[in-house]
Amino acid sequence: MRLLLVHPSALMYSEIFLRLEPLGLERVAGAARDAGHEVRVVDLQVLDRSVLMRELRSFRPEALGVSLNYLANIPEAIELAAHAKQTVPGCFVFFGGHSVSFVAEDVLEQAGGSVDAVVRGEGEPVIAPLLEAIRDGAVDEVPGLVTASGRGPAPRMLESIDAPLPARDLMRNRRRYFIGELDPCASVEFTRGCPWDCSFCSAWTFYGRSYRKASPQAAADDLAAIREPNVFIVDDVAFIRPEHGDAIAAEVERRGIRKQYYLETRSDVLLRHPEVFERWSRLGLRYMFLGMEAIDAEGLDLFRKRISPDENFKALEVARKLGINVAINLIVDPAWDMERFRIVREFALSVPEIVHFTVMTPYPGTEIWHTESRRLTTRDYRLFDIQHAVVPTTLPLDQFYRELVRTQAVINRKHLGLRTAFGAARALGRNLLHGQTNFARMLWKFNQVYNPRRQLADHQRPVRFELPEPQPIDIGDRRLLYVHHRGPTHTRNPEATD
Ligand code: B12
Ligand code: SF4
């Protein structure tokens, strides 16, 4: 069967700091190709819409799947679906991915017939049975499928994440994937799932708090096949299990694989096993993203981060000693006033790390979607990108955005200060020599993208598609939030506290 897979355009954040390959979609593509189907992929983060239009007309897909990891992409995906149905009548259109798994029925209804099905949960185990069912009928019986006639059987989970391999070779314009100065940059997955349960996050609810590890051989095989010199490790929390991180490191050493790496982890994981991160720093680990989220104990408790400010600060010291550049994330509460912004700015200027800000956003799949008592001020999908305020702000909204952007800008200037500029200039020169311009563009584009007027104006756009109303549920049984329910083979990490 001819299958076209599409990733929607980049969101605000990706215009500046990074733009990475859609690894999940590539794995779905890999699974479909392994099952003998003819597959093409269009990633609108790096390709123009005209490429998609051409593919629709020339390839004439029999099935078209759109990846929806991000809520903010849903309106765009519905419009694409309607266009595809018009251009290729008879094409079976379906959506899949992280975010759409939590709002499948609502999106189906909103699409008004342009979308035939939504796949909840992991895409690899479902794609071959789905394509067969499209040909032979009985789509409703495919696990994880939601159609106009309701939910089919529960989504299936991969036993092992070693296969299928992502179909990286199907991607065009790979040189446009980058993160900061790691330009160009590929992505890789060593583990899947997260055993913690932070209240603002849906990573754990999607996978039902399961945690799976790739075998060290498969992880190293995948790394060795990557052409790019830089690699982003997509794991929610890297190296939770030190022996797993070590075993992959041993394979990488044995095979002499040399790359620069960027990963995300937690402060307590780094503090418990700094030796693993030290080993990886020798192998090329350059950047680490730590989701600190709050600088005080009250904020950390509120997000159920199960970590103390002290641990966070100690982790920063450890990373500094290892020579790893750290980016930290802090969650901005829309309730912040001028004084709170000032305190946070002061903190951000006092540490050498890069500080990112995301706005506290209740979204489907998270616990706070059901428990946050503040009313949503908007249900426009496009504003649910953690860069916009969707609950009431204490400051008038325009002033909130001015403070937010001012805080981001102060920090951006800190990093573009003279000292950093020299360091960055070296990377810039190196990248430009190789024809890589993503990092250079990022350095100068900040003011254009992060602009309080633009953010405020985003709230004024006419709204066609809205999120459903949040339903308060009794969070006593948190399995109600899960997309996947763990089978007996998927164990929780014993190191995580509960
Ligand atoms: C890596 C990652 C990124 C990367 C790469 C994203 C990309 N281009 O795909 C980067 C760092 C760029 C990123 C950025 C952002 N991210 Co992000 N990201 C993740 C993370 C940690 C893992 C995603 C991943 O690669 N997983 C591994 C692959 C194999 O799995 P997968 O992509 O989920 O795909 C599987 C299924 O979803 C499904 N599937 C996927 N596509 C399709 C398509 C079809 C047709 C089918 C059938 C199935 C299917 O099958 C796949 C295989 O099983 C997730 C958390 C998580 N654990 O899911 C957050 C997550 C998806 N990100 C999130 C957010 C908020 C963001 C940002 C908005 C953050 C910001 N600061 O602005 C930006 C926006 C980026 C953009 N698109 O422009 C939120 C989503 C929130 C929401 N509900 O919208 C998540 C859930 C994190 C969280 N803590 O809540 N992200
Ligand atoms: S540790 Fe990170 S990925 Fe895991 S639940 Fe918390 S925020 Fe989400």
DSSP string, 255-302: HT---EEEEEE-HHHHHH-HHHHHHHHHHTEEEEEEEEE-SSHHHHHH
* pLDDT given for residue 16 in this prediction: 67
Distance 265 CA to ligand 2 centre (A): 9
Residue 430: band (very low, low, confident or very high) from pLDDT cuts 50, 70, 90: confident
Using the predicted structure, report yes or no on whether residue 491 has a pLDDT greater than 50.
Answer: no
Which residues does ligand 1 sit against, CB inside 6 Å? 5, 10-11, 13-14, 18, 20, 22-25, 27-28, 65, 67, 69-71, 96-99, 119, 122-124, 189, 201-203, 206, 234, 236, 358, 363, 385-387
CA distance readout (Å), 482 to 153, 220, 302: 15, 31, 21
Residue 416: band (very low, low, confident or very high) from pLDDT cuts 50, 70, 90: low
* pLDDT given for residue 408 in this prediction: 83
Q: Identify the weakest region by mean pLDDT among 178-187, 289-298, 307-316, 428-437.
A: 428-437
Q: How far apart are CA 387 and CA 104, in angstroms?
A: 24
* pLDDT given for residue 373 in this prediction: 72
Could you please state the CATH topology (level 3) that the domain comprising 177-481 is classified under.
TIM Barrel (3.20.20)
Options 3.40.605.10, 3.40.50.300, 3.30.565.10, 3.40.50.280; CATH of 2-151: 3.40.50.280
Question: Whose CA is closest to atom 58 on ligand 1?
Answer: 203
Q: Identify the weakest region by mean pLDDT among 64-73, 168-177, 450-459.
A: 450-459
Domain map of the chain by residue range?
A: 2-151, 177-481
Q: How many Cβ atoms are within 10 Å of 4's Cβ, its own excluded?
A: 25
Residue entry with tokens 């720093």: 281
Residue entry with tokens 């794991």: 235
CA distance readout (Å), 211 to 100, 163, 214, 217, 490: 21, 16, 10, 18, 7
Distance 71 CA to ligand 2 centre (A): 18
Nearest ligand, measured from the Cα of 388: 1
Nearest ligand, measured from the Cα of 73: 1
Tens-place pLDDT, residues 174-221: 999 999 889 999 999 999 999 999 988 999 999 999 999 999 999 999
Question: Whose CA is closest to atom 1 on ligand 2?
Answer: 196
Q: Which residue has the higher pLDDT, 129 or 433?
A: 129
The neighbouring-strand residues paired with 359 are 332
Please, are residues 295 and 333 in contact by the beta-carbon 8 Å criterion? no
How high is the mean pLDDT of the chain? 90
Tokens found for residue 425: 């200039």
Which ligand 2 atom lies nearest to the CA of residue 202? 8
- In this structure, the strands spanning 212-213 and 117-119 are unpaired
Using the predicted structure, report yes or no on whether residue 266 has a pLDDT greater than 90.
Answer: yes
Q: How many Cβ atoms are within 10 Å of 169's Cβ, its own excluded?
A: 14
* pLDDT given for residue 450 in this prediction: 72
**Best probe residue, ligand 1, of 19, 92, 98, 190 (max atoms within 8 Å of C-beta):** 98
**Best probe residue, ligand 2, of 69, 189, 201, 307 (max atoms within 8 Å of C-beta):** 201
Question: Whose CA is closest to atom 2 on ligand 2?
Answer: 236
Q: What is the pTM of this model?
A: 0.94
Distance 359 CA to ligand 2 centre (A): 16
Residue 496: band (very low, low, confident or very high) from pLDDT cuts 50, 70, 90: very low
Q: Side-chain half-sphere of 255: how many Cα atoms within 13 Å?
A: 18
Please, are residues 35 and 131 in contact by the beta-carbon 8 Å criterion? yes
How buried is residue 260: exposed, middle or buried, by Cβ count under 10 Å (0-12/13-18/19+)?
middle
* pLDDT given for residue 181 in this prediction: 85
3-state secondary structure of 422: helix
Distance 194 CA to ligand 2 centre (A): 6
Q: How far apart are CA 293 and CA 66, in angstroms?
A: 31
Using the predicted structure, report yes or no on whether residue 41 has a pLDDT greater than 80.
Answer: yes
Which ligand 2 atom lies nearest to the CA of residue 293? 7
Distant-in-sequence, close-in-space partners of 226: CB < 8 Å, separation ≥ 6: 168, 186, 188, 259
CA distance readout (Å), 321 to 240, 278, 442: 20, 9, 28
Per-residue pLDDT, averaged over 122-127, amounts to 98
Residue 434: band (very low, low, confident or very high) from pLDDT cuts 50, 70, 90: confident
Q: How many Cβ atoms are within 10 Å of 15's Cβ, its own excluded?
A: 17
* pLDDT given for residue 441 in this prediction: 66
Distance 68 CA to ligand 1 centre (A): 8
Please, are residues 386 and 361 in contact by the beta-carbon 8 Å criterion? yes
Q: Identify the weakest region by mean pLDDT among 115-119, 224-228, 260-264, 369-373.
A: 369-373
Nearest ligand, measured from the Cα of 198: 2
Check if 2-151 and 177-481 are the same fold: no
Nearest ligand, measured from the Cα of 293: 2
* pLDDT given for residue 297 in this prediction: 87
Using the predicted structure, report yes or no on whether residue 488 has a pLDDT greater than 50.
Answer: no
- In this structure, the strands spanning 191-192 and 212-213 are antiparallel
Q: What's phi and psi for 146, nearest 5 deg?
A: -120, 125
Question: Whose CA is closest to atom 3 on ligand 1?
Answer: 234
Which ligand 2 atom lies nearest to the CA of residue 197? 5
Please, are residues 140 and 134 in contact by the beta-carbon 8 Å criterion? no
Nearest ligand, measured from the Cα of 194: 2
